[in-house]
Amino acid sequence: MGEPYVGARTPRREDARLLTGKGRYVGAVRLPGTLHAYVVRSPIAHGRLVGCDAKAAWAVEGVLDVITPADAAGLSLPCVSLAPGQRMTSFPVLDDAIRYVGQPLAVVVARTPEAARDAAELVDLSLDELPAAVGTDRAMEEGAPLLYPEWGTNVLTDFTLGDADWASFAEQAAHVVEMTFTMGRVSPYPLEPRGVVASYADDELTVHISSQAPHHVREHLADALGLSHDRVRVISGDTGGGFGAKEHVYPDEALICLAAMRLGRPVSWSESPGDRLFATLPARAAVHRARLALAEDGRFLALHADVVGDVGAHPSNVGISTFTVTATLLPGPYRFDRVAVRVRGVVTNTTPTGSYRGFGQPEAALTRERLIDEAARRLGIDRIELRLRNMLGPDELPYTTRVYQRYDSGDYPLALRTLRDLVTPVEKADGRRRGIGYSCHVESTGMGPSMDLKATAIQAGGYETVVLRMEQDASVVVSSGVVSIGQGIETALAQLAADRVGVPIERVRVVLGDTATTPYSSIGAIASRSLAVGGGALTRAAEQLRGKLLALAAHRLEAAPDDLEIADGSVRVKGDPAASVTLRELATSAWRGWDLPDGAAPGLEERVSYDPAGYTFAYGAHAAAVAVDPETGAVEVERYWVVNDAGVLVNPAVVEGQLRGGVAQSIGMALTEEIVYTPEGQPITDYLLPTTREVPDIEVVMLETPSPITPGGMKGVGEAGTIGPPAAIANAVAAALPEIADRITGVPLTPSRLWSLLADVPSPPR
């Protein structure tokens, strides 16, 4: 066999169809007789729907159905991830209690999209408006409007992780840095909007949906609609970006399926561009009141944070787990004597918050890395030296943190030292102030052990299953429950199969995204786990299939399996290519049951489920060089550097792409992106995504420390690029503006916010 596929920069096989307009997106699904739906949403943030008059809508030509809360009574969706003491574990698909602008109140179905929209505008909503609670501070005030009066509070859950005696360590510290950090509410904003085409015939529901977890969607739709799971098929083709926003089924998507069942006709719906910011779940919105305690020599003693997360109107599918992940990843790559985190989830009259690429980890990095930089500034210690002094070394791994995470492998100091050697300052005389900022992180990937998920009240299994089959012509089919969302998993799985079985990659087909043809996956493509867990299952399946091929050939060639090799489409005796049998001949005989060793079963198919022993932990170090205009507060990121270790790299080109894309996405979170609400709960829809002008050259260096947990040694990388930029950029801005360094405590760092901070600095006396 030629060069190995694992480690090669194999071109992504997905790109051929995606770049030629042949992508399999929901918007391209065409079924005979398809109808079109439009969702009627609440224009107010808090109140009650006391009437929903659809007479005028029914009069519009082509309207076939109008679904109101009375038609969907009892339909609800579950929270998959539950926090201790969580007051709410499911949420209704339609509700006459209104708790955010954009909440679905009705669905209109018509023969054309235009008729559905026109009719939706004629639905007469009678609303009893109430005062809104916007922002966690307001929601926790005494006398604040209550979203769920029966609770007597807007606090959904309140619990603590870590060391109960952390305060005594802080009291004995020589230095304590205390700061409050805020993270703006941001939108995942995938290029392909959410969409559904649902059809119902012969008591079976078929759902085409843009989703990261089709099996997850299937079970929740079946339960909500009262169907047995075998009567629901979910198909997710080429999902045009997910970023966490598409890892579950939404109330409006369930309503489209209900409409198809009521009418017995296919129903199509796609989220309107104007609805995205208040209909698709945003994330990040949180406030951290944090303290870092240090000894006289700069040794880290204790780290504490009070995390208050904005849940929005109700807990989403993921509940408040994004804030819990913040708590568990707060220590990063450093050692502390004590760590404790209080986590509170608070409901507000805003869109429910959910998952977003990085899932609580950029927030943890921002808080920790800003505290470290501020400590270095106050103590007069070099910020890189302070980090290295407290950083876990490779000989200390595996290591269990004070908040229960068991880091598997790596060399964290090497990443930071490598980064330090890469960074070069930008020197220009243009009147702007310049600074360089650093951040380091450990990334939780490969969300896995099923019993660990049970123990933490996540209602899902953490394993992945692969079916690997060699056909009679020696072509290979990989079927997996993970899905393609633009992360290159189709190519990576093909590389693994080709390499481990010993066939050309052109002979490997990968099947994903259809619950009728792929093995069950209750989590799907989230949490940087597709390759770490799905690839782990494939690695084991390929080893078993290869072993069976060698055993069959050994029987035919009267040789020992260890004396054989697979090369050039044949199994042959090492050193004697003439003594061989082709893979095609072996496969044909296996499927026909011919010439098998005693006890061997016909066929060449392996089904393997891999439930990992633990999470895998990737890590990275980031640096940003910024220029700040003190006259306007505008920040430009001029250069960016990343050093990352994601274990064994199946395709370095794909990994680099994931890192650069994540950095670009997170630069927006650091500088420009935020969903803002008025005190009345109305979203302000100016939302500034980064463009090519805001994204600089990004230099990437990759380290490679295999994970001892994953078969094949892989770790995840899908979220890595998003974790470091907010912290690195904020630290760079603080370095450029030392006079306000201790007030650089929130993102996005918009020009107006920085200008206001600079304007508050007293002028020096004349």
Per-position DSSP letters for 62-82, written without gaps between them: TEEEEE-GGGGTT-EEE-SB-
pLDDT band at 678 (very low <50, low <70, confident <90, very high): very high
Question: pLDDT band at 724, cuts 50/70/90?
Answer: very high
pLDDT greater than 70 at residue 419: yes
Q: For residue 522, name the pLDDT band (cuts at 50, 70, 90).
A: confident
pLDDT at 615 over 90: yes
Surface-to-core class of residue 364, CB atoms within 10 Å of its CB (0-12 exposed, 13-18 middle, 19+ buried):
buried
**pLDDT, position 763:** 72
CB contact at 8 A, 209 and 195? yes
Give the pLDDT score at 701.
98
pLDDT of residue 764: 63
Cα atoms found within 13 Å of the Cα of residue 741, Cβ hemisphere only: 21
User: Nearest CA to 441 among 336, 534, 366, 503?
Assistant: 366
Q: Of 681, 688, 672, which is closest to residue 748 (Cα–Cα)?
A: 672
* Contact present, 616 and 622 (Cβ < 8 Å): no
Bond from prior residue into 748 cis (ω within 30 degrees of 0): yes
In this structure, are residues 378 and 403 in contact, taking their beta carbons and an 8 Å threshold? no
To the nearest 10°, report the CA torsion of 668, 671, 674, 677: -170
pLDDT on residue 765: 57
Of the pLDDT bands very low, low, confident and very high (cuts 50, 70, 90), residue 685 is: confident
Nearest to 120 by CA among 43, 28, 225, 195: 43
Whether residue 361 has pLDDT greater than 90: yes
Specify the pLDDT at position 357. Answer: 97
Which of 317, 267, 276 has the alpha carbon at shortest distance from 26?
A: 267
Give pLDDT tens digits for 336-352: 999 999 999 999 999 99
761: pLDDT confidence band, cut at 50, 70 and 90?
confident
pLDDT of residue 352: 98
Nearest C-alpha neighbor of 195 from the set 236, 223, 243, 244: 236
pLDDT at residue 452, rounded to an integer: 95
Q: Note whether 525 and 532 are within 8 A (CB).
A: no
pLDDT of residue 766: 60
Q: What is the DSSP string of 404-470?
A: S-EE-S--HHHHHHHHHHH-------SS-EEEEEEEEEEEEES---HHHHHHTTB-S---EEEEEEE
pLDDT band at 157 (very low <50, low <70, confident <90, very high): very high
Q: Cβ distance 705 to 648 under 8 Å?
A: no
Confidence band, pLDDT 50/70/90 cuts, at residue 448: confident
Q: What is the pLDDT at residue 2? A: 65
Nearest to 523 by CA among 462, 450, 587: 462
Instruction: Please say if the pLDDT value at position 762 is more than 90.
Output: no
**Which architecture characterizes domain 15-20+463-610 according to CATH?**
2-Layer Sandwich (3.30)
End-to-end CA distance of the chain: 78
Q: What percent of the chain has pLDDT over 70?
A: 99
Report whether 79 contacts 315 (CB < 8 A): yes
Please state, rounded to an integer, the average pLDDT across all residues of the chain: 96
Share of the chain above pLDDT 90, in %: 97
Q: Is the pLDDT of residue 145 over 60?
A: yes
Write out the residue limits of the CATH 3.30.365.10 domain(s) in the chain. 15-20+463-610, 371-446+614-759
CA pair distance 259, 268, nearest whole angstrom: 10
Distance CA 621, CA 423 (A): 12
CB atoms within 10 A of CB 280: 21
Whether the model pTM is above 0.95: yes
**388 pLDDT above the threshold of 60:** yes
3-state secondary structure of 128: strand
- Whether residue 666 is predicted with pLDDT greater than 70 in this model: the reply is yes
CATH architecture, range 371-446+614-759 = 2-Layer Sandwich (3.30)
Question: In the structure encoding, which two tokens stand for residue 444, read together?
Answer: 């939780």
10 Å CB burial of residue 624 (0-12, 13-18, 19+) is buried
CB 633, CB 688: distance < 8 Å: no
Q: Which CATH number fits domain 31-130+190-242+246-279: 3.90.1170.50, 3.40.50.300, 3.40.50.280, 3.40.50.1000?
A: 3.90.1170.50
CA triplet 300, 302, 306: central angle to 5 degrees? 135
Q: Kindly tell me if the per-residue pLDDT of 1 is higher than 60.
A: no
- Tens digit of pLDDT for each residue in 10-55? 999 999 999 999 999 999 999 999 999 999 999 999 999 999 999 9
